[in-house]
C-alpha cells in the first residue's frame, strides 16, 4: 500500500510505502531538490548515501539533504516499509536546519516513541483530512520533528556508516566542488590519479551508478533545486554544465518523469 500527497506550493510531501519482497529497481539511486526524512520502523536493510553504507537496525531516521544521491537496499524477502517526509527545510525552518551537522545522516530511535508517534500522526491527518492539513497541521508537526532530531543528535543517538571507499569519497567531493566546470570523467581521473576503469568499477560497486551518470544525476538535482526560484530552465543550463537544452530536457524527463 502507499499514500502520497503534495502541498500546492510543493514545499511539503508526505508518503507511506510498504513493499512485499521489494525489488532492487524500486530503490534506484536518486536525489531530490528537497530534504527527505525517512522513518524506517525496522527491517533488514542498508542505506547508501553518496557511497556511504549504513546498516539499518531497529527504528531509524534517515536524513537526506538536497542533491545527495541515495538509495535503500533491502535484504531478503520480508516486508519493508517506510514513512517519507519531504520539505524545503532550508526555507521553512532555516534556523533548525542549520543546527543539524552536515555529516549526520542517520539517527537511532531505539527506545523512543515520540518520533514514531509524530509520523503516525502525520499519516492519520493525511488519510482523514483534506489537503488543507498541509497548511494548518503539518508545519507544526515538522517543526516538532526537527526539534526531536536536534535533541537526539545532542544525546549522541546518531549512527556512523559501516563502510565508505576512500577513492569514492574523494571523487564525490571533487565532483561536488567542480560540478559546473567539470568537463569529463577523464578530467576527474587525472585529478584523482586513478584509472578510468578502476573509478568505474568503484562507482558501480558502491553507488550503482557509473561516474558519468553520477555527475548527470547530481547536476539534474541541482537544476531541480534552482528551478524552485527560477522557472526558466534554459537560463540555468550553462550554470550546471549542460550545453544543449534538448539533451538536458530529455535527461530531466527520463529521470523525473516530468518536464523541467
List, for residues 138-179, the tens digit of each pLDDT value. 889 999 999 999 999 999 899 999 999 999 999 999 999 998
Rounded to the nearest integer, the mean pLDDT of the chain is: 86
Domain ranges in the chain are 2-154, 166-256
More confident residue, 194 or 236: 194
Residues 6+ apart with CB under 8 A from 161: 49, 52, 53, 54, 105
Residue 47, pLDDT > 90, answer yes
Residue 5 is predicted with a pLDDT of 47
For 236, the 3-state DSSP assignment is coil
Q: What is 2-154's CATH topology?
A: Jelly Rolls (2.60.120)
pTM over 0.75: yes
- CB–CB of 28/54 below 8 Å? no
CA distance 40 to 248: 34
> Residues 228-240: pLDDT tens digits?
777 777 777 777 7
CATH superfamily of the 166-256 domain: Homeodomain-like (1.10.10.60)
CA distance 15 to 86: 9
Q: What is the DSSP letter of 213?
A: H
Amino acid at each position: 500500500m502507499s499514500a502520497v500527497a503534495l502541498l500546492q506550493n510543493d514545499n511539503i510531501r508526505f508518503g507511506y510505502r510498504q513493499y512485499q519482497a521489494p525489488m532492487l529497481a524500486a530503490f534506484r539511486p536518486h536525489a531530490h531538490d528537497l530534504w527527505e526524512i525517512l522513518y524506517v520502523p525496522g527491517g533488514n536493510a542498508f542505506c547508501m548515501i553518496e557511497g556511504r553504507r549504513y546498516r539499518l537496525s531497529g527504528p531509524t531516521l534517515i536524513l537526506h539533504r538536497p542533491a545527495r544521491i541515495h538509495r535503500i537496499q533491502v535484504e531478503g524477502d520480508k516486508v519493508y516499509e517506510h514513512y517519507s517526509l519531504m520539505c524545503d527545510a532550508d526555507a521553512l525552518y532555516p534556523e533548525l536546519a542549520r543546527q543539524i551537522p552536515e555529516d549526520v545522516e542517520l539517527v537511532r530511535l531505539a527506545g523512543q516513541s515520540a518520533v514514531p508517534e509524530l509520523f503516525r500522526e502525520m499519516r492519520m491527518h493525511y488519510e482523514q483530512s483534506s489537503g488543507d492539513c498541509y497548511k494548518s497541521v503539518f508545519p507544526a508537526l515538522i517543526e516538532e520533528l526537527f526539534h526531536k532530531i536536534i535533541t537526539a543528535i545532542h544525546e549522541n543517538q546518531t549512527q556512523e556508516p559501516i563502510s565508505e571507499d576512500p577513492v569514492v569519497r574523494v571523487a564525490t567531493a571533487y565532483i561536488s566542488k567542480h560540478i559546473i566546470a567539470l568537463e569529463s570523467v577523464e578530467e576527474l581521473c587525472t585529478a584523482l590519479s586513478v584509472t578510468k576503469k578502476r573509478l568505474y568499477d568503484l562507482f558501480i560497486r558502491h553507488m550503482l551508478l557509473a561516474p558519468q551518470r553520477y555527475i548527470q544525476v547530481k547536476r539534474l538535482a541541482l537544476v531541480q533545486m534552482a528551478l524552485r526560484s527560477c522557472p526558466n530552465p534554459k537560463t540555468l543550463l550553462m550554470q550546471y554544465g549542460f550545453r544543449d537544452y534538448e539533451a538536458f530536457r530529455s535527461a530531466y524527463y527520463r529521470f523525473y518523469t516530468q518536464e523541467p
